[in-house]
Structure 1
Amino acid sequence: MHQTFIDYHAALRRGERKGRLIRGHLFAEKLFLQNVWYPLFGHLDHLHPEYEIFDWNRKSQFIDFAYITPFGRFGIECDGFQSHVKDMDREKFSYSLNRETFLTAMGWKMMHFSFDDIQNRPEICRMLLQMVIGPSMIRKGAANSAAISAAIIEKEVLRLAWRLNRSIRPKDVIDQLDVDFRTARKWLRSLVEKGCLSPIVKGKDIRYYELNEGALEHI
């Protein structure tokens, strides 16, 4: 899988962009795909390794991965302690912060994962990656395609319920995730069946849903 992925992108590139892919895509990046990305999404669509970007001086830079989709642009960096902390001087530190802010201004959402977490605690990386990308996928309608799983959607609903700090209503899901009533109710009922939510009945209808104890373990 990994070599096919690299060969595909290398065939589309020339010059330094191709050279950077061959030289720069190393063990940490391969491990990220193996331990974090593929177990979460199950595909490599729209993911670009060693993606070229430009800073405010039009200086060419490369980020480890770019996930470019109709619902947003996401940059992913796999950072080793030695190269990104221990060997960094004041000038490099300042440039790193400025580049991050510039990319944010240009519409990127940047994520950084340490090599130690990618190797030893990939479940943390998967959780954080999902928390950043998941809401954008849902709001742009990707929830109705194969691009996002039901598990990711349900976790986003649970996070919404946690943020509200009160009972969650179908209207809350509709407003926050830009879906219709039928879809919101389907997601909430699924979480009831899984024991994450309890329905609150008023009259003959279910009006609210409350988080059950232990629901956060599913986020």
Structure 2
Amino acid sequence: FGEKLLLQNLWWPVFGNLNDLHPEYEIYDWNRKSQFIDFAFLPPFGQFGIEGDGFQSHVKDMDREKHNYSLNRDTFLTGMGWKMLHFSIDDLQHRPENCRMLLRLVMSPYLLRTSSVKPAFLIEKEVLRLCWHLGKPVRPKDVCDQLDVDFRTARKWLQALAAKGWLTPIARGGSIRYYELKEELLQHLL
């Protein structure tokens, strides 16, 4: 039931395909004990474990030993390069829009990296990531504060990203004050 909800209410509305998604993916823990992840998303840019957790089986019926093992399992998987995402069955059923927002938030930096248009410099990726995380038009001052650079450098980076087609400049009072991610980029990411 939970896996079906995860696919129907979360994955399909966000991605519209099942590419690189593997159900009941077997992994081994530090003791070589076989475990299963509800879904493994294995694109070229990472390993993501996606779980639909029910209250009864994952919380209510859990004793201290099972709780400890669950935490250690996630920490072990993180150490092995997995990014683990947990969604409650209740949210998947009654608040799927929250789950979709969280999935997009986690996946967007990786999708930016794999887009067909590549920024030339790593700093450009950081500026784009900042724009995404702020969720509103970004000012040179925002870049200054976040990336610890002077105003002229921040403005230069924003102008370069606008020239490459990643950002749209927004004028106020006759001069450009803000930049926002292009709508087409947002559609590609979402």
TM-score normalised over the length of structure 2: 0.72
Give the SS at the match of 1:144: coil
- Match of residue 209, structure 1, among 166, 171, 178: 178
Q: 1:37 to 1:105 in 2, by over 3 A?
A: same
CA contact (8 A) 1:47 1:66 kept: yes
Summarize deviations over 1:157-207 as a string: whole Å, max 9, x none: 332466x78445572698xxxxx6644xx2321xx6xxxxx336887xx4x
Equivalent-residue separation in structure 2 for 1:55 and 1:173 (angstroms) = 48
Q: Do residues 72 (structure 1) and 58 (structure 2) align?
A: no
Residue pairs, 1:190-201, within 5 angstroms: 198-199=170-171
Give the SS at the match of 1:158: helix
Summarize deviations over 1:28-68 as a string: whole Å, max 9, x none: 11111111111111111000001001101111100100000
Unmatched segments (≥5 aa) in structure 2: 118-127, 144-154, 181-189
| Letter paired with 1:159 | H
Q: Percent identity?
A: 56
Unmatched segments (≥5 aa) in structure 1: 1-26, 146-153, 175-179, 193-197, 212-218
Number of residue pairs matched? Answer: 159
Give the SS at the match of 1:69: coil
What residue number does 2:36 align with? Answer: 62
Give the root-mean-square deviation of aligned CA atoms: 3.1
Equivalent-residue separation in structure 2 for 1:173 and 1:118 (angstroms) = 40
Equivalent-residue separation in structure 2 for 1:87 and 1:156 (angstroms) = 41
CA contact (8 A) 2:167 2:179 kept: no
Equivalent-residue separation in structure 2 for 1:48 and 1:172 (angstroms) = 39
CA contact (8 A) 1:66 1:73 kept: yes
What residue number does 2:123 align with? Answer: none
Q: Do residues 113 (structure 1) and 87 (structure 2) align?
A: yes
Equivalent-residue separation in structure 2 for 1:57 and 1:40 (angstroms) = 35
TM-score normalised over the length of structure 1: 0.63
Summarize deviations over 1:98-154 as a string: whole Å, max 9, x none: 000000000000010000000010000001111111101212xx2228xxxxxxxx9
Equivalent-residue separation in structure 2 for 1:39 and 1:96 (angstroms) = 29
Give the SS at the match of 1:143: coil
Q: 1:172 to 1:210 in 2, by over 3 A?
A: closer
What residue number does 1:130 align with? Answer: 104
| Letter paired with 1:209 | Y
CA contact (8 A) 1:65 1:75 kept: yes
Q: 1:91 to 1:46 in 2, by over 3 A?
A: same
Equivalent-residue separation in structure 2 for 1:82 and 1:69 (angstroms) = 31
What residue number does 2:12 align with? Answer: 38
